[in-house]
């Protein structure tokens, strides 16, 4: 968080502007008295533990019901993970063991085990952003055991609609109140893929996270303007600032209606250039949303969900079915299937491997596939078979070496041959594309492009690896910007190299989902953008206002810039001058962790 006077800057995780009084909710761990339990009372202590756990499970089930009614069945599943924690016999058995062997009270034993689990989760990049879920359960059980009121919710809450400020927003707190009680949430911790962030967004409650240290500046009762689109909180606003914020919110809501209407319109710029807009699909449930939002094919089909939560691998036939189904849903249009992008911020291969000190620089993505060809061959074979009937493409992530693409081509050729011998239908012309996500790929573009049928830039990882900034770290959110001149120059080098080779260059990272980002990409020369389905109408609306000659001029100015700030200023000025000013209200959502991780 950057306090700039009265303006606090964090991460906007759920859009919308609201004005109201702050209420600070302290989810503090209760004091746990020291006491040794007499041997004869140990059984009773274990019974107390089980009773508290059952009560909190009841509360979570109520919250799950509430989330299902107010947000939807998918969002309600967020509570399943918390309920599972309380059904984990290994964990509960561990707590009971401590009670028995060390004569600890139920609260002390529970606290001990919960802190142990918390430390484990905080150390694990895959689980780190789920720590708030753990906190929700941990605090509630302790409060129950100690007979304290739950979550120490201040009395002010409920008297009039307020903006809740807290250290860590738990899923429970997010759905506990309705909009007449809570108009917005602000948390010191968390990123846009925290469970609480997802819930706030589904509930339509503006939310800002990652405002590290904000509780020092806030007192209950203080008036604030929360802007969940820009990720800001303005303290003690003047009447004029309040009026401006309210007008901005009205414009945003009008814009949302306009965007809905844009779905049916072609993505053509003012000077007649046809832009292709595709959808990024993480889960099968999102296919319909992509189609309904007017996606012209799938620009990034993430496949990690096929492995998620399983100890075995999906069969080839299972994959053929899925890829064919997606291909048929977008009949004739390209469906770009990315090979498993495991490890790093996503799921490690569930095979009891040693944890790595640096998972982002470790054994992940294409490296796993090439080192474990039995996994990769299955995916390639499934795609070759699906290609016989549909327009699926294969795309490989995190490419850093020419040999990786060569090896992939060899495997494709071998499997094509083998499928033929087996008499199975095979689409031998399966296009192979690479994701440009590393500085190595940018620098080697002229060579890599010779081996590729197309490229697609993953700006999330390209930004992370170019700037050496963890894409999921809330503390570094401000440093994570795809508008850094090094990223902008890389983007230009990629599109130029692809153009010289006569190959398609697309962008499927989050940068394409955000007005200034999409505008810059069009100016740099990209003509294919792929975004998450809900962002497609906004990008389409934007494309229809763009004059490519002007956008090119803006991109040239951005390429001259020395700093991220200068690039941002060039873009802000161009967007304000050439586009509907409401586009500025749709701000970047920093720190894009892979959406796939949120189901982990």
Active-site annotation, residues: 195, 508
The residue among 171 and 458 lying less far from Mg ion, judged by its C-beta, is: 458
Name the one range near ligand PEP by CB under 6 A: 196-204, 243-251, 453-461, 552-560.
453-461
Name the one range near ligand PEP by CB under 6 A: 13-21, 263-271, 458-466, 494-502.
458-466
Backbone angles phi, psi at 208, to 5 degrees: -125, 135
Binding flag, residue 203, ligand PEP (CB under 6 A) = no
Tell me how far, at minimum, the Cβ of 493 lies from ligand PEP, in Å.
Answer: 17
Pick from ligand PEP, Mg ion, none: which does 509 bind, CB < 5 to 8 A by kind? ligand PEP
DSSP for 91-127 reads HHHHHHHHHHHH-B-HHHHHHHHHHHHHHHHHH-TTT
Taking CB positions, which residue lies at the least distance from ligand PEP?
458
Alpha-carbon distances, residue 420 vs 309, 424, 431 (angstroms): 33, 6, 18
Taking CB under 6 A as the criterion, the residue among 378, 458, 523, 590 binding ligand PEP is 458
Taking CB under 6 A as the criterion, the residue among 45, 129, 461, 470 binding ligand PEP is 461
List the interface residues with ligand PEP, window 335-364 (CB under 6 A). 341
List the one residue out of 327, 296, 326, 328 whose CA is nearest residue 536: 296
Tell me how far, at minimum, the Cβ of 514 lies from Mg ion, in Å.
Answer: 17
The residue among 458 and 590 lying less far from Mg ion, judged by its C-beta, is: 458
Tell me how far, at minimum, the Cβ of 2 lies from ligand PEP, in Å.
Answer: 25
The residue among 299 and 458 lying less far from Mg ion, judged by its C-beta, is: 458
Instruction: Report the relative pairing of strands 232-235 and 276-281 from DSSP bridges.
Output: unpaired
The residue among 142 and 507 lying less far from Mg ion, judged by its C-beta, is: 507
Binding flag, residue 461, Mg ion (CB under 5 A) = yes
Cβ proximity of 491 and 521 under 8 Å: yes
Cβ proximity of 192 and 215 under 8 Å: no
How many residues contact ligand PEP, by CB under 6 A? 11
Distance (Å, whole) CA 232 – CA 8: 6
List the interface residues with ligand PEP, window 536-595 (CB under 6 A). 594
Binding flag, residue 509, ligand PEP (CB under 6 A) = yes
The one-character DSSP state at 447 is H
511: Cβ–Cβ under 8 A, 6 or more apart, which residues? 459, 463, 482, 517, 518, 520, 521, 588
Pick from ligand PEP, Mg ion, none: which does 96 bind, CB < 5 to 8 A by kind? none
Taking CB positions, which residue lies at the least distance from Mg ion?
461
How many residues contact Mg ion, by CB under 5 A? 2
Tell me how far, at minimum, the Cβ of 459 lies from Mg ion, in Å.
Answer: 9
Q: Is 563 helix (H, G, I), strand (E, B) or coil?
A: coil
588: Cβ–Cβ under 8 A, 6 or more apart, which residues? 481, 482, 510, 511, 514, 516, 517
The one-character DSSP state at 394 is E
Pick from Mg ion, ligand PEP, none: which does 404 bind, CB < 5 to 8 A by kind? none
- CA angle in degrees (0–180, nearest 5) for 310-315-319: 100
List the interface residues with Mg ion, window 19-48 (CB under 5 A). none
Q: Give strand pairing partners of 104.
A: 36
168: Cβ–Cβ under 8 A, 6 or more apart, which residues? 27, 131, 132, 135, 187, 188, 189, 190
- Encoded one letter per residue, x for contact with Mg ion by CB under 5 A and - for no contact, window 429-458 reads -----------------------------x
* SS (HEC) of 286-353: HHHHHHHCCCCCEEEECCHHHCCCCCCCCCHHHHHHHHHHHHHHCCCCCEEEECCCCCCCCCCCCCCC
The residue among 296 and 461 lying less far from Mg ion, judged by its C-beta, is: 461
Taking CB under 6 A as the criterion, the residue among 437, 470, 478, 514 binding ligand PEP is 437
The residue among 190 and 458 lying less far from ligand PEP, judged by its C-beta, is: 458
Compute the residue count for the chain.
600
The residue among 189 and 437 lying less far from ligand PEP, judged by its C-beta, is: 437
Tell me how far, at minimum, the Cβ of 191 lies from ligand PEP, in Å.
Answer: 13
The residue among 63 and 521 lying less far from ligand PEP, judged by its C-beta, is: 521
- Encoded one letter per residue, x for contact with ligand PEP by CB under 6 A and - for no contact, window 112-151 reads ----------------------------------------
Tell me how far, at minimum, the Cβ of 437 lies from ligand PEP, in Å.
Answer: 5
Radius of gyration of the chain (CA): 25
Distance (Å, whole) CA 393 – CA 338: 8
Distance (Å, whole) CA 24 – CA 186: 9
Residues in the site for Mg ion, rule: CB under 5 A?
A: 458, 461
Residues in the site for ligand PEP, rule: CB under 6 A?
A: 300, 302, 341, 437, 458-461, 508-509, 594
């Amino acid at each position: 968080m950057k306090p700039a006077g009265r303006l606090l800057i964090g991460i906007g995780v759920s859009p919308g502007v609201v004005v109201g009084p702050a209420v600070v909710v302290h989810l503090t761990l209760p004091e746990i008295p020291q006491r040794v339990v007499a041997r004869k009372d140990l059984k009773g202590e274990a019974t107390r533990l089980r009773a508290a756990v059952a009560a909190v499970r009841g509360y979570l089930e109520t919250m799950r019901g509430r989330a299902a009614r107010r947000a939807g069945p998918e969002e309600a599943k967020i509570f399943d993970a918390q309920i599972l924690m309380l059904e984990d016999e290994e964990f509960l058995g561990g707590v009971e063991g401590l009670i028995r062997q060390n004569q600890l009270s139920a609260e002390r034993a529970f606290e001990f085990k919960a802190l142990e689990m918390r430390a484990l989760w905080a150390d694990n990049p895959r689980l780190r952003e789920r720590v708030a879920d753990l906190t929700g359960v941990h605090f509630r059980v302790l409060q129950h055991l100690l007979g304290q009121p739950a979550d120490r919710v201040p009395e002010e809450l409920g008297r009039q609609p307020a903006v809740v400020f807290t250290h860590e927003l738990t899923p429970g707190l997010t759905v506990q109140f309705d909009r007449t009680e809570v108009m917005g949430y602000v948390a010191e911790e968390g990123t846009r893929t925290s469970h609480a962030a997802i819930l706030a967004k589904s509930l339509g409650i503006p939310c800002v996270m990652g405002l590290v240290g904000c509780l020092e500046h806030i007192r209950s009762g203080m008036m604030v303007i929360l802007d969940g689109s820009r990720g800001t909180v303005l303290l003690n606003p003047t009447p004029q600032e309040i009026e401006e914020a309210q007008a901005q919110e009205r414009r945003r809501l009008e814009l949302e209606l306009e965007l809905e209407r844009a779905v049916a319109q072609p993505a053509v710029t003012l000077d007649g250039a046809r832009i292709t807009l595709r959808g990024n699909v993480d889960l099968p449930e999102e296919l319909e949303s992509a189609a309904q939002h007017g996606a012209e094919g799938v620009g990034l089909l993430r496949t990690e969900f096929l492995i998620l939560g399983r100890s075995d691998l999906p069969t080839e036939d299972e994959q053929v079915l899925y890829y064919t189904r997606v291909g048929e849903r977008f009949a004739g249009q390209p469906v770009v299937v990315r090979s498993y992008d495991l490890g790093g911020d996503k799921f490690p291969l569930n095979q009891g491997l040693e944890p790595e000190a640096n998972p982002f620089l470790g054994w992940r993505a294409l490296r796993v596939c090439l080192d474990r060809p039995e996994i990769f061959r299955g995916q390639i074979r499934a795609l070759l078979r699906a290609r016989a009937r549909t327009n699926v493409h294969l795309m490989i992530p995190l490419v850093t070496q020419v040999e990786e693409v060569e090896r992939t081509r060899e495997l494709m050729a071998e499997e094509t041959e083998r499928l033929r011998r087996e008499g199975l239908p095979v689409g031998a012309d399966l296009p192979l594309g690479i994701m440009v996500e590393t500085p190595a790929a940018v620098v080697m573009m002229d060579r890599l492009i010779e081996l590729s049928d197309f490229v697609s830039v993953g700006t999330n990882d390209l930004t992370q690896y170019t700037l050496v900034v963890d894409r999921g770290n809330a503390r570094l959110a401000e440093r994570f910007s795809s508008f850094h001149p090094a990223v902008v120059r890389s983007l230009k080098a990629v599109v130029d190299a692809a153009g010289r080779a006569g190959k398609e260059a697309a962008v499927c990272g989050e940068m394409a989902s955000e007005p200034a980002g999409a505008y810059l990409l069009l100016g740099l020369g990209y003509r294919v953008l792929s975004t998450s389905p809900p962002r497609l109408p906004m990008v389409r609306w934007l494309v229809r206002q763009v004059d490519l000659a002007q956008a090119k001029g803006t991109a040239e100015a951005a390429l001259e810039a020395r700093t991220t700030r200068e690039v941002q200023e060039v873009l802000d000025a161009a967007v304000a001058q050439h586009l509907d000013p409401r586009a500025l209200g749709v701000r970047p959502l920093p720190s894009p962790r892979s959406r796939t991780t949120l189901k982990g």
